[in-house]
Structure 1
Amino acid sequence: MIHFFRKLRQSLLEGNKFNRYLLYALGEIILVVMGILIALQINNANEDRKSAIQEELYLRRLLTENREDIRTFTQNIADLNKGIETIKGLSKALTEPDHSDEQLLLAARDFFQYGSIYPVFSSSTSTFDDLSSTGNLKLIRNTELREQIVKHYAKHKQISEWIRVGTEWALPNDAPFTYSNSIMRFEPASAFLFGDQLPADLVAHLRDKKIEYINNAAVHFWINRDAIDRLESLVLDTTIIIDEIDKELNR
């Protein structure tokens, strides 16, 4: 084919048919441009297809991680609620006269095991971090969904920071209380380190330091309560994100 066009061009030049040669040259240019445009279109179509595949992979990873987050947040909320119940139990055992010594000791042990634990925040952000650091967020073509995802993970950071601030506020008060009252003797795992202890002595200590123990329990109550509220809000937000991603994948 190339040989044919070369011969045609040569014959036009030799025959002094310059106008025809110009038309031929113009046609040849048009053919070349059309070929380039078709090649670009095919290349763009391939790139769009690759981007769509990559977008789907990212969305499915986000879907998996957010479903895992729901389970994590729900378990954290359950643990914090259990801690709050032990806080309430200790308060009742210290303030209500109808509670026996045995009930007070049990309430104190439950509190130190569950209620005095600080809330933690843990979430799966590896896919979002990947999208952000590589600039691949633009692969998510639905701009509204993309903005929702960005705001969603900004909320993760806000809640993590809020819980950290609460912990740092409480620790300077909690640590001296823990040490000065030797609360580890109420923990079954470490009680043996303190030698034989009479239950009556432990009860007397708890009643004598009643206000200190209630103050400490109140600190953990407010930290836990605030963390629960924020995690419940994040569970709702995560549920919405899961639903939106699922809709996008099924379009």
Structure 2
Amino acid sequence: MKTGKYLKYAIGEIILVVIGILIALQINNWNERNTIQENITAQVSALILDLKRDKLSFVEVRGFHAFRVHSVLYLMKQYGSAKDPVIFAEAGEIPVLSETGLFGGPVPETYDKDFIIRSFSWLLRYIPMTARINTMEEFKNTGLLAHFKNHELKTRILDYYDAVSFAFEGDDRDTNPTEMLKKTFTAKGFAYSEAAVLDQPIEILLSEPTIRAILINIIDESTFRANMSSGMIEHLEQLIQDLEKENQKG
């Protein structure tokens, strides 16, 4: 009888120990999941800040490229080109010029030396667009992205970085029209500041066929970049909004 009682007692003790272990494991798993979720929330918050900064950069890049397009169109018109430059259909529509942008007003209707100087100044410069990737790389490398449950949002995030890489890669290559224009200026014996000191900069500079050809390439490239920037801004606005909602869920 005593043996049976001890056996029941021992079994009861074992069951209590097992239950205690299971509860401890459950609490540990819950704490681990909670920690992972807290880290994901913090990572997404940092990512949102990066995306907001990217959005501001795209606004700047869009305005920059729109100005370059309208600058070249103005220069070609003032030079007296017989017809408008042909733009690849893939580049999209001519971007709208913000009158609060680089020139601070509309494109002049007549010959305007200040606008001409400003145009050549920005046609010889470049603003590259590179997405901020440090937070995203950390998100992936820590393994937290794999735990991000909203797969649709995850796909949209990854698609965004792929799209930026595709549309804006090579901005700093030698084949970039801006770099080609700068080299052509030098090869033709013009300094970068030449447009500001020449009495008739359009007539002198655009009389060079190579320069005219490169300027037309700039129209195509900057139209594409401006339109891509507009699309990225819209995409980021929605993506940021959805990520903020996702973070509020916890």
Say if 2:130 is the partner of 1:131: no
Q: Following the alignment from structure 2 to structure 1, what is the Cα–Cα distance between the partners of residues 114 and 204?
A: 14
Counterpart in the other structure of 1:29: 14
CA positional deviation for 1:163: 4.1
User: In the superposition, relative to structure 1, how do residues 152 and 216 fare at CA in structure 2: closer, same or farther (>3 Å)?
Assistant: closer
Counterpart in the other structure of 1:170: 177
CA positional deviation for 1:19: 2.1
Q: Following the alignment from structure 2 to structure 1, what is the Cα–Cα distance between the partners of residues 52 and 114?
A: 37
- Equivalent residues in 2 for 1:50-61 (5 A)? 50-61=35-46
Number of paired residues?
A: 221
- Equivalent residues in 2 for 1:72-83 (5 A)? 72-83=57-68
Q: Following the alignment from structure 2 to structure 1, what is the Cα–Cα distance between the partners of residues 143 and 180?
A: 44
CA positional deviation for 1:115: 2.7
Letter in 2 for 1:160: F
CA positional deviation for 1:94: 0.5
SS of residue matched to 1:154: helix
Q: Following the alignment from structure 1 to structure 2, what is the Cα–Cα distance between the partners of residues 184 and 235?
A: 32
SS of residue matched to 1:124: coil
Counterpart in the other structure of 1:217: 215
* Cα RMSD, aligned residues only: 2.8
User: In the superposition, relative to structure 1, how do residues 117 and 221 fare at CA in structure 2: closer, same or farther (>3 Å)?
Assistant: farther
- Check whether the contact 1:89–1:107 (CA below 8 A) recurs between aligned residues: no
CA positional deviation for 1:28: 1.2
- Check whether the contact 1:62–1:127 (CA below 8 A) recurs between aligned residues: yes
Letter in 2 for 1:62: L
User: In the superposition, relative to structure 1, how do residues 58 and 91 fare at CA in structure 2: closer, same or farther (>3 Å)?
Assistant: same
TM-score by structure 1 length? 0.76
Say if 2:212 is the partner of 1:205: no
- Check whether the contact 1:55–1:140 (CA below 8 A) recurs between aligned residues: yes
Letter in 2 for 1:111: S
CA positional deviation for 1:106: 4.7
User: In the superposition, relative to structure 1, how do residues 123 and 233 fare at CA in structure 2: closer, same or farther (>3 Å)?
Assistant: same
Quick one: higher RCO (CA 8 Å, sep 6+), 1 or 2? 2
Q: Following the alignment from structure 1 to structure 2, what is the Cα–Cα distance between the partners of residues 59 and 103?
A: 51
CA positional deviation for 1:109: 2.2
CA positional deviation for 1:216: 2.4
- Equivalent residues in 2 for 1:7-18 (5 A)? 17-18=2-3
CA positional deviation for 1:126: 1.8
When you count helix as a share of all residues, which structure comes out higher?
A: 1
Q: Tell me which moved more, 169-178 or 150-159.
A: 169-178
Gaps of 5+ in 2: 83-109
Counterpart in the other structure of 1:250: 248
TM-score by structure 2 length? 0.76
Letter in 2 for 1:55: I
- Check whether the contact 2:79–2:202 (CA below 8 A) recurs between aligned residues: no
Gaps of 5+ in 1: 1-15, 192-196
- Which has more radius of gyration? 1
Q: Following the alignment from structure 1 to structure 2, what is the Cα–Cα distance between the partners of residues 105 and 224?
A: 23
1:93-143 per-residue CA deviation (whole Å, 9 max, x = no partner) reads 11179xxxx937555423321234345112222211111122221232222
